Each structure stands twice: as C-alpha cells, then as structure tokens.
A and B are shown apart, each in its own frame.
Chain A
C-alpha cells in the first residue's frame, strides 16, 4: 500500500514539475514577445476553471480526447504504437451521422444505436491494421497513417455527396432530436458520462480480466507470453479493437453530443486532429485510463482557457498554441522517457 502511494506520488510530482517547466517556458515566450505572462496565465486559468460555464466548456473539450487518448494507451499496453485514432474517429463520426442524422428511430433506441454504430465503425476501421500486422508483419505506424488518410477522404466524400444537409452543403445532416445527448451546460452533454464509463470499463478490462492480463503480458514480454501459451494474435486484435471502439466513440460524441452544430462539417474542421492530440493526452496521463481523464481535462482547460489569453490579454492565437505546445511537450517527457527506456531494454535483450 505504502509503496503504491509512493509510486503515485512520484509520478504526480514528476508531472507537477513538468507543468512548472512548461509554464515557465511559455512565460519566457510571452516575455520575449512583450506580453505579461502573469495576466495571461490568470486569464487562461479563470477562463478554463473560473466559473461553471468555463468548467463545462473545458470538459466538453476534454470529452473526445479522453477516448482518443485511450486508443493510444491501450495500444501501448499491448506493446503497439497505435496512432490510428484520427481516422477511426472520423469513421465514428460518420457512423453517428448515418444513424443519428439520416435515420429516424424511436427515442432512446435512436441515441443508443447511433452511438454504438459509430463505435463499431471505428473498431472496424482498426481491423485491417490488426490483420496486416499479424499476417503480413506490417508495422501499425505505417498502416494507421495510410488508413487515416483513406478515412479522411472517404468521410469527406460521403458527407459532401451523400449525407449533406439539404440546403446547407457545408455540413452533414445534424443528429436528430432523438439522437442527441442531453445538454448539461455550455456545450457539455451527458455523453461525457458514457466516455468516462468507457474509460473505467477499459481500466477494468485491462487490469482485472484474463483478456487484459494476456494483453499486457504480450505487451511487456512477447517471449514469456509465448512460453505461457498466450497468442499475441488475440491480444493484438483486442487492443486495436478496444482502441477502435474508443476512437469511434470520440467521433460519435462530436456529432451526438456537441452543440451547437451536432454534426460534421464538410471541412471536417470540428474533428481534425482530435485523434493526434489524444497521443499527447495519453502521454500526459501516463497511458493509464484514469490518468488520461485528468490529463484530458487539463488539456481541455489549456485549449479553452487559451482563448481567454487571446481575448483578454491579446496574446496572438499562434503564440497561444505555441505556449500550449511547450506545456504539453514538457508534460509528455516523463512518459516518453519511460517508453524509450522500455524499447531500449527490449532491444538490448
């Protein structure tokens, strides 16, 4: 017990030091460009966490990131470098549009069906990655990057030519009333509970079930897994599949649970990069489902609060992004170091 506490405290303090370093780095940039970092950071913080609507907005930003981060984290646990969340997330959003926007179903069922279909499409989009890896030895980085692009153009095509809102060609049909999560406040909806529930479920699967045990075993030491008669095929499929479900849910959440648009724009502007940002969030959260929830909230706060640095202190939005980038890189470093350590160790063996 005491040791677990020490371990958690150590990781926490590493992360806190990283936050301080990141903030200092950002402050340095601002001073360089003649802004007052103190005022700017105050605007960021009060904007993100200062009042209820700020908090809601921050959580709304965090919601999809929890899921795309989970995609990456479940990959890492199985020894995979899964950066396919981006494309799988597009497919998830597409699925939500197809059922939630273009179909009419009874209330209740409609929302559930649209959510599940989005998740399923995301998971299906991960299947070729697993299959290519297992049967052809194609590295997942290569296959996911290619599939991300295929997904991008495919979804854009579908939205423009088959699912565009009549009369408003710049976006797909929005989710119908029966397929929308309830608004809690600002642009936060109850989909966040589904997302957190899925993260907790994943935690349970990975640490409390035999399937998760196998998955981690294969990730840590494929040779020992083989010795124990555990097939890496199953673990690989499972990891990509859970990751795909999560990424699909991320996409669906932006359609079924994100006012005011409730849909996907033909430019995909409201989805773009959510998958890649999840990688950073996962690293900040130490690739752990629970850590990821907090990391995503922190990240959401940076994104949302960053706007207030712009409004109130006039920091140029590009600089806001640079500052956020510095903070995020600083925060990812502890986990990156431990990941590299693991890879090096495996090489040496």
Chain B
C-alpha cells in the first residue's frame, strides 16, 4: 500500500462535463476532476446513478465528453473510440460481460484483436500470451476452456485478460466485485495489487466503502455527478466517506416493536415439491408458515431451490406435490393473477428481465399491477392523467431518478432506480403478503435503508413478508424467524434471537441441521 502516491500521473481528466441533452435536464457529470497515478489503486466511490460508469466510459472512449479535457502523461488528447483509448493505454472492464459463450477463452480474446485477418487466426499465439499473462498477474484461467463452462468469477477473469492483452497502463474496472463471492473478491484484489505494483494505474469503481478501505490507495467520491473530493484512503475514515457519498440519510431503525404477533398464518406451505427447469426436483418437501406482521427470512446459498420455491408460491411454476395456502385459500398451481389478486406482491430476482418491461416508459411500468383497477382505468380505458400523477408521486416518494415518466424507456435507468420502481409498484398498496427475492441486491446504502424501513413499516401494519436473500446481515437484521434452505429442503427454522451467523452459515452448507 501507499506506493502510488508519488507515481507519475498517467491519465488526468480536468473539469469533465457530460450531459445527455433531451434526456436529462441536469448534468450527469458536473466539472469532475480525476487522475490516476502509476502504481496506485484509485477507487471511484459513489452511489447508484452518481456517474461512475459514465466517467469510466468517457475515459475509455465509449462516450465522448461534453466539456473538459483529458490528458495522458501530461499531453492533452481527444479520445474518440475504445480503440483510441487502448492506444493511449486505457482499458476498461465493463460491469456486464461481453463474452461469446460457446467459444473458448482464447477465441474470445482473439475476437477483439482486429489486427489479424480471419484467415490467420493465431490461436496458439493467443493461448501462449494468455498463459503468460495469467501467470504474471495470478489470474487463473485455462485458455482452452469454453466460456459457457466457466463460473462467473472465471468469466470476469477472462474479461480482465481481454483488456490486459493490450498491455494498458491504466485499467478501469466497473463494479467488478458485484458478481463475486467473498473469496473471489480477495483473489481479485490480490491481482489488482499485483498490477499496481507493476506500475499500472488501477481504477476500481465501487459503491462499497469497505472495499475502498481494504484495497485502495486513494479515493475519489462522486455524488449525483458532482466531485465530492479526492483523498488518501489512510487519511479518511468510513464515516466521512459515507457522508461524502450520500449526504444525510435516514437512520435504519430495526425497532423490533413486538407487533401483536398474531398467530394467523398468511402463507402456509405444506410439503411442497417443485421440479426446476432442468427437470430435477429443486424443492423437495418444504413446509413453513409466515404469519401476519412477520418477516420470515430464508437464507441459503443460491441454487438450493429458493427460486423454484418463490415461483411456485407466486404461481409462475407448477408444484408437483404439496399445498400452498394463502389467506386460508388453497392456491396450489393457481395462475399468477389469481394469486396476485389475493394481495400478494412479488419483488422478483431478475429485475430487468422479469420485473420491468425495458422498452416501455416509467409510467407504463408503474401500473403493471394496477392497470385494471379504478382509477387507473375505467371501462377498459387507461386514465393517463391519473397514471401520470400517480407515477409522479411514486417517483418523489421512492426517489426514483428518471428524466420523464412518459418519454424515457426504463431501459436507460440504472439498476438501483429500476429496483426502486419495482419496490414502489409492489409495496405502495400495503399488500397482505410480500415475496421479496434479493430485494436490496445492488442497491446503494441509502436505497437499502429506505427499503428496510419500508419493510419494517409494512410489518408493523400486519403484512407478512417472505424474504429470500443471500445477504446474511440483511436476513439477520430484519427477520423474526429464519429458515435455512439447503438442497431443496428447509434444514431448520430458527427464532431470530437464537440465530447466529455461525449457526446459519453451517446450516447453509449442510454441515448442521436443526
């Protein structure tokens, strides 16, 4: 640590302004200064929508800047394309992967190397270089493996190698840890440190303060497009960073007011069996209850049947055996609409694909649940005026950052804002039962707290909440009772008071059952 403070300034951005005219009234980047030095890991910290990705895209040639100047090693340059950026030694690893699954690692890397014609595909040469690079930075990947057989963490290594192949001096990684397990994160950080030690400048984009503390030398904080400051990480504490990042936030108060804790079950699942998409039984005999005013958490490693369980409860997948009873009605294998009409709301796992219609507008997405009821529509005709006002209200209340409710397609909203949209739409009516799958995944701190507060409020009002999450902290701090799922079964149900992280962790891996 600390080697990079006096390194040469490799890339510098001066007073960068970015606007999207016609989409946003305000500036997306408002005179932002940023620089990267040789040998440092420089964190770019900010909430969802702060402009981190936009800034990175400007440096790496995917967007052009509206105003401002970029310097490479002190010389002013104009970066017109990603190729241009790579020639100037700036490479970027995007948040979304851009790999071709049926091809091998080496083939994927070679695809980006246009200097070769398709006749002389130097695949052996690419494989050799890849081995060398993997070795040098500790990025373990087999160049001959097919990408579709790789884990997400490995795929990310391929993305990094794809950029490293160009030998960039500055490497920008956009929220690389969001898809990784904790061990993979540690591995990645070691790799980043190796690169910095070698004299590269590394830019790590994140919204997690602990990552900044853990690995970065310097940090630049963005908030809503404004540059809040750049400082050495060893000279700043977490609290200050938090304050810079989000300003003043409402505190999270898990005031566990022992709600009248009625014993009336809202949801009852009895010996449920569900067959998953791959044809194997994914849920294998699960029974539990969620009562009025209770948050029932389900912990577990992803892929242990949680998805199928949720789909069965919400009517999206057939159960092969067992019963699901909601509000005293047997709804096993009923349609999603019948179940929703009982007052059940669902925050889905895959928000972009299932939770919204990306090609439609914010207003149109906001009424997905309610469009058939008055005053959203009357006699089958949509009441656009009311829908507009309603959406406006939701946008305010849930702080959804969107330029216009009727004109912008939801596609351009950031993931955090899409999740806010879904939360607003699903929760405003105070439903009887909420099935929430990773409700805060990818949300920034402010939105996360906001969501947790809403959950607590709903709980006080008697809503039953089934919370499925991989985030143990979330499960532990919100739930009244916790069920742990392992290989399609609930291996135990604990009262929140008696649950410890250690115990749950053991149950999640099947070491221990209650």
Contacts and interface: CB of A to CB of B under 8 A. Distances in A.
A213 B407 contact: no
Interface stretch (A2-10, A90-98, A139-147, A304-312): A2-10
B152 interface: no
Contacts of B231: none
Contact of A226 (B336, B356, B358): B336
Interface string B336-360: 1111110000101000011111111
Contacts of A213: 364, 367, 371, 382
A224 B372 contact: no
A223 B337 contact: no
A192 B224 CA distance: 53
A221 B354 CA distance: 8
A3 B403 contact: yes
A210 B368 contact: no
B316 interface: yes
Contacts of A208: 381-382, 384
A180 B367 CA distance: 45
Interface string B314-340: 111000000000000000000111111
Interface string B197-237: 00000000000000000000000000000000000000000
Nearest to A230: B337
Given A220-B360, A224-B356, A229 B337 contact: yes
A303 to B, nearest CB: 33
A51 interface: no
Most chain B CB within 10 A, of A7, A210, A349, is at A210
A209 interface: yes
Given A3-B23, A227-B355, A210 B360 contact: no
B336 A2 contact: no
A342 B371 CA distance: 25
Given A224-B368, A349-B353, A7 B359 contact: no
A228 B354 CA distance: 9
Contacts of A342: 359
16 contacts: A3-B22, A3-B404, A4-B406, A7-B407, A208-B382, A209-B380, A210-B382, A213-B364, A213-B382, A216-B360, A226-B336, A227-B314, A227-B346, A228-B369, A229-B336, A231-B335
A3 B407 CA distance: 7
Interface string A217-250: 1001101111111110000000000000000000
The prevalent SS among residues of B at the interface is: loop
B377 A3 contact: no
Interface string B461-478: 000000000000000000
Contacts of B364: 213
A27 interface: no
A231 B316 CA distance: 12
A73 to B, nearest CB: 16
B30 to A, nearest CB: 21
B319 to A, nearest CB: 17
A209 B382 contact: yes
B306 interface: no
Which range holds the interface residue count of chain A?
20 to 34
Contact of A210 (B340, B371, B384, B408): B371
Contacts of A216: 360
A211 interface: yes
Interface of B: 22-23, 314-316, 335-341, 346, 348, 353-360, 364, 367-369, 371-372, 377, 380-382, 384, 403-404, 406-408
Contact of B380 (A3, A211, A230): A211
The prevalent SS among residues of A at the interface is: helix
B151 to A, nearest CB: 20
Contacts of B406: 4
A210 B380 contact: yes
Nearest to B356: A224
Given A210-B380, A228-B368, A229-B340, A223 B353 contact: yes
Interface in A7-61: 7
Nearest to A212: B382
Given A228-B336, A229-B337, A221 B380 contact: no
A210 B353 contact: no
Contacts of A231: 335, 337
B22 A2 contact: yes
A217 B384 contact: no
Nearest to B364: A213
A225 B336 CA distance: 10
A4 B408 CA distance: 9
A227 B360 contact: no
B316 A226 contact: yes
A223 B336 CA distance: 12
A7 B339 CA distance: 39
A14 to B, nearest CB: 16
Given A227-B348, A349-B353, A221 B316 contact: no
A217 B360 contact: yes
A276 to B, nearest CB: 27
B336 A227 contact: yes
A217 B336 contact: no
Contact of B355 (A209, A211, A224, A230): A224
